């Protein structure tokens, strides 16, 4: 695939702007186009398949994050529009196959991560972990593309069906125990890979929020209401309201989205905030509505650190700032420090690993330039001289890392460096 002209031009400009920092220059040169160069396939039906890297499947969440940094260049670049428009169409196609699936095959190949999963797999599904955030990312990509490229041809019948299905599922999962058809059982020794209670997850109380079986890391939720994912749902439901009203002239769908948004936001404000003895009022990571909470943060997006990035509240929000201080401390059980790095990790990778994505996200949501500079330096120093970013790595030994080819991490780093260049930080 030929590189879109706008991307080639931007890379040439970035080379000049980063010439004073050769290693950063090379990292950016590698990471910014990585998705287009290695994980993007233009299909004959006009859609675009974007796989995650070292796994041959397309995640709804990952594929959005892999291309998000290209959207600002789309307005006047037909080749880039073809790629992004095709990806949106592919995502809508997948949602219409099954809105509970997180990762799909390119064809109905009947390939699965675990063919023995008890979760109603079909041949299109690589893995059927229901993750609320996956549906949110689909809406976010369509909305951002519409606003940037100012084109409405993406809003066809398939898109309308998918958006309606997304609202239906989020509504259904407000009453998971009573109404949901979803279950997931994986025969494994790891608790994070399956759902308790015969695949239904532990019981939850009604809160207004919407249930999710799994986190953005693909680990199972400890408690069913993942707060960052519900925050993301609040944001994208407003997008659906606007699309339904402006594009489809469907005021009923718009009203449903607005009502659902209000109910979820009420649930977050009522059940998702905890009075911490050290940090004050902070957002919990998960709750069940019965008074149980998971106080932690995970490197995956959306997480608590990424709340401003997904657009729920701004960096200046007092509860967010309290939560950020908690998440970047040892009171967060997945915060780690070593000789070369310090930051947030995940139960998804070995204990003690810091994630490059978490460092990039910390910098993207920082409110002072010195913190941003320190984090960029940390990222540059911990690529293990591979020229790319990874998933998790040991902060005492960056050469000990997971996922050599992980396009999402490269894209998020590229987003950070692009923003830093615009602000004159690098």
One-character DSSP codes across 356-390? HHHHHHHHHT-SSHHHHHHHHHHHHHTSTTSSS--
**pLDDT tens digits for range 225-274:** 999 999 999 999 999 999 999 999 999 999 999 999 999 999 999 999 99
- Please answer whether residues 401 and 389 qualify as being in contact, where contact means their C-beta atoms are separated by less than 8 angstroms: no
Give, as one character, the DSSP assignment of residue 48: E
Instruction: Work out the percent of the chain whose per-residue pLDDT is above 90.
Output: 96
Q: Which residues contact 139 (CB under 8 A, 6 or more apart)?
A: 163, 166, 236, 239, 240
Sorted by where each begins, the domain ranges of the chain are 38-331
Local confidence band at 1 (pLDDT 50, 70, 90 cut-offs): confident
pTM above 0.85, yes or no: yes
Measured in residues, the chain has a length of 426
pLDDT the model gives residue 188 = 82
Domain over 38-331 is classified CATH 1.50.10.10: yes
Q: Name the average pLDDT for the chain.
A: 97
- Residues 61 and 226: their CA atoms lie apart, in Å, by 16
- Residues 133 and 36: their CA atoms lie apart, in Å, by 23
Instruction: Tokens for 339, please give them.
Output: 């000789």
CA separation (Å) from 425 to 67, 229, 337, 421? Answer: 23, 31, 25, 6
Q: Can you tell me which residue has the tokens 């041959």?
A: 56
Local confidence band at 108 (pLDDT 50, 70, 90 cut-offs): very high
Which of 84, 85, 105 minimizes the C-alpha distance to 94? 105
Listed as own residue / partner, the contacts of 106-111 with beta carbons closer than 8 Å and 24 or more positions apart are 106/41, 106/43, 106/49, 106/51, 106/56, 106/58, 111/56, 111/57
Q: Can you tell me which residue has the tokens 């003895």?
A: 277
Phi, psi angle pair for 361, to nearest 5°: -70, -40
- Residues 253 and 269: their CA atoms lie apart, in Å, by 24
pLDDT the model gives residue 159 = 98
């Amino acid at each position: 695939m030929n590189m879109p002209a706008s991307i080639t031009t931007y890379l040439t400009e970035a080379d000049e702007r980063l010439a004073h920092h050769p290693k950063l220059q090379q990292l950016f040169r590698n990471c910014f186009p990585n998705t287009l160069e290695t994980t993007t396939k233009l299909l004959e039906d006009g859609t675009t398949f974007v796989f995650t890297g070292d796994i041959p499947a397309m995640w709804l969440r990952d594929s959005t994050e892999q291309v998000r940094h290209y959207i600002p260049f789309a307005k006047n670049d037909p080749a880039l529009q073809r790629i992004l428009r095709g990806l949106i169409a592919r995502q809508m196609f997948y949602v219409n196959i099954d809105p509970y699936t997180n990762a799909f095959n390119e064809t109905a190949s009947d390939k699965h991560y675990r063919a023995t999963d008890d979760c109603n797999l079909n041949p299109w599904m690589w893995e059927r972990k229901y993750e609320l955030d996956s549906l949110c990312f689909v809406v976010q990509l369509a909305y951002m593309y519409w606003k940037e490229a100012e084109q409405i041809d993406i809003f066809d019948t398939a898109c309308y069906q998918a958006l309606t299905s997304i609202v239906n599922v989020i509504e259904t999962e407000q009453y998971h125990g009573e109404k949901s058809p979803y279950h997931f059982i994986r025969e494994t020794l790891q608790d994070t890979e399956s759902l308790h209670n015969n695949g239904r997850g532990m019981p939850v109380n009604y809160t207004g929020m919407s249930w999710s079986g799994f986190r953005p890391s693909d680990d199972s939720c400890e408690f069913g209401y993942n707060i960052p994912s519900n925050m993301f749902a609040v944001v994208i439901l407003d997008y659906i309201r606007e699309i339904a009203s402006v594009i489809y002239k469907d005021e009923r769908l718009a009203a449903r989205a607005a009502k659902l948004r209000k109910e979820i936001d009420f649930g977050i404000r009522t059940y998702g905030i905890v009075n911490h003895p050290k940090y004050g009022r902070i957002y919990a990571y998960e709750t069940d509505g019965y008074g149980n909470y998971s106080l932690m943060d995970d490197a995956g997006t959306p997480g608590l650190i990424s709340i401003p990035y997904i657009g729920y509240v701004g960096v200046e929000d007092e509860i967010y700032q309290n939560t950020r201080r908690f998440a970047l401390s040892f009171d967060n059980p997945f915060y780690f420090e070593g000789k070369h790095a310090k930051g947030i990790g995940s139960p998804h990778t070995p204990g003690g690993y810091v994630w490059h994505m978490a460092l990039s996200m910390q910098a993207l949501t920082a409110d002072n330039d010195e913190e941003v500079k320190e984090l960029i330096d940390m990222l540059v120093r911990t690529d293990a001289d591979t020229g790319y970013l990874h998933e998790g790595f040991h902060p005492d030994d960056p050469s000990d890392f997971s996922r050599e080819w992980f396009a999402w991490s490269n894209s998020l780093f590229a987003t950070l460096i692009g923003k830093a260049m615009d602000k004159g930080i690098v």
